[in-house]
A and B are shown apart, each in its own frame.
Chain A
């Protein structure tokens, strides 16, 4: 090393830690010997380390350390007790009740009607069209259609009208545009319209709709005030979730996705209700993806299975709650959509993953 050129601060710090290659250490030592400024820096770094070593936290006494392994092993022994499989679908009460957040549930037919109206009000603030009622999604999923390149068929086997949901439809655009604001990242990896390698992370159509859609305000307070001013009491976010559920049940997926999105934007990460909203959004996205031929549906399921498996492995490695939530959502979607095309062994594996993820995702 040229002795007139000062090493970087990173290098001096690594020099103190003896974490540089031998050649670099010799060079820096030679420089430091002849450079008062760098020598001062190295000495200051060293003295900081010495001081910090004297700054130990007060630890429990020996009895604690003697006892701790036994307590841990006892927990491990208890943890291997198998849990019932498959996972029962949680009740609506459980899905809405979040003990940590203290959510209160407003039920009752009058209230429910009010909630639907409230969500309608919120959605209309963003200019979303209200679609006519359509058959239930389960029927759509089970209906093979011609492989004409379109994702959806306008009429089902019984000749009933289907919602118009092609890639340019509002529902599709809404779902694709969700990703831009999702700090959890859950649906992004699986959404149609997302193309790896492009600058923005979205395909052309994805970028177009993201740019042209009026964004739903992520400001929970504004949304909440809007719902409250419409006349509904209790918790307006729960109201929105219930309304979205009703919209999904009646086939109004446009509205449902808006409602779930509203819930997700309004609640903190970790809320059970937010998890449920994410799960429903992913379910909607994948259901849309499967509205085509059996071959394409099998391919979609295969892809989802890989993603679900990978997300589970990611969680196993990281043990982070956010990875758990993502994996939990993904595997639950697979469990919901898979029975038509997935093998029983595969479903059993997925069910096992959901069981393992259940606790940390709902913590």
Chain B
């Protein structure tokens, strides 16, 4: 049973449902929104980090996500779940960032001397750290070969445990597309890794 929210104690907030916290946040209760941040900050950070591959950038984008979510609370419809909506903002922020980085990289190519392009340090992907373990390393490498949409769908499902409905909401795409992307991702991963069935 949901706790009553007559007070503002931390215990009350921790036991409250998302919908109650959203309602209080809409009414200007920043403590309630702070609880929503605490509740979802790690998931948002992980989703973003997997996409942008840089903890510093993930930090910025995670902050932006919550700030934008707070700003957009007025448009959030109470009949929907909060976290898929939040994840969609995070996902879109990460997509914006990636697109900007690509444009910047394209613009920089003309300006970077050739020697720098050859000798510059390769950005280390967080997933590369898993290469200590051979199988995990192979999976990490296989994931890197997947198209962005397939990789994100796969990780939202297996790591975040989101339902197809929630993934569809997060990525603003039909549920059927989620289903087929997941299947294609699994087939591709199996092919890249040559996963034994048992």
State the interface size on chain B (CB cutoff 8 A). 65
A321: B residues at CB distance < 8 A:
96, 99-100
A319 at the interface (CB under 8 A from B): yes
Contact across chains for A53 and B67 when beta carbons are under 8 A apart: no
Q: How far is the CA of A43 from the CA of B198 in the complex (A)?
A: 7
Instruction: State how many angstroms separate the Cβ of A93 from the closest Cβ of chain B.
Output: 21
Whether the Cβ atoms of A40 and B100 lie closer than 8 Å is: no
Q: Does A91 make an interface contact (CB < 8 A)? A: no
Q: Produce 1/0 per residue, A36-59, CB < 8 A to B.
A: 000111011101110111111111
Cross-chain pair count, CB within 8 angstroms:
149
Interface membership of chain B positions 54-94, coded 1 if the CB is closer than 8 angstroms to chain A and 0 otherwise: 01000100110011101110010000000000001100110
User: Which of A9-17, A121-129, A149-157, A205-213 touches B?
Assistant: A9-17
Q: How far is A43 from B96 in the complex, measured between Cα atoms in Å?
A: 36
Number of interface residues of A (CB under 8 A): 52
Query: With A45-B186, A49-B158 in contact, do A269 and B103 touch (Cβ < 8 Å)?
Result: yes
Q: Does A180 contact B (CB under 8 A)?
A: no
Cα–Cα, bound, A44→B95 (Å): 30
B residues 3-34 with Cβ under 8 Å of A?
30, 33-34
With CB as the reference atom, state the residue of chain B lying closest to A78. Answer: B67
SS of A interface (majority): helix
A45: B residues at CB distance < 8 A: 186, 190
| A and B contact pairs by CB, cutoff 8 A, 27 listed | A13-B179, A19-B164, A40-B197, A41-B197, A44-B186, A44-B195, A44-B196, A45-B186, A52-B143, A56-B46, A59-B42, A68-B41, A68-B59, A68-B62, A68-B63, A72-B63, A72-B66, A73-B30, A73-B34, A75-B67, A76-B30, A100-B104, A268-B103, A317-B75, A319-B96, A320-B96, A321-B100
Given contacts A17-B164, A48-B190, A49-B158, 8 further A-B contacts (CB under 8 A): A19-B164, A47-B197, A48-B186, A48-B195, A53-B158, A58-B129, A316-B72, A318-B172
Binding site for B on A (CB under 8 A): 8-10, 12-14, 16-17, 19, 39-41, 43-45, 47-49, 51-60, 65, 68-73, 75-77, 79, 100-101, 268-270, 313, 316-321, 363
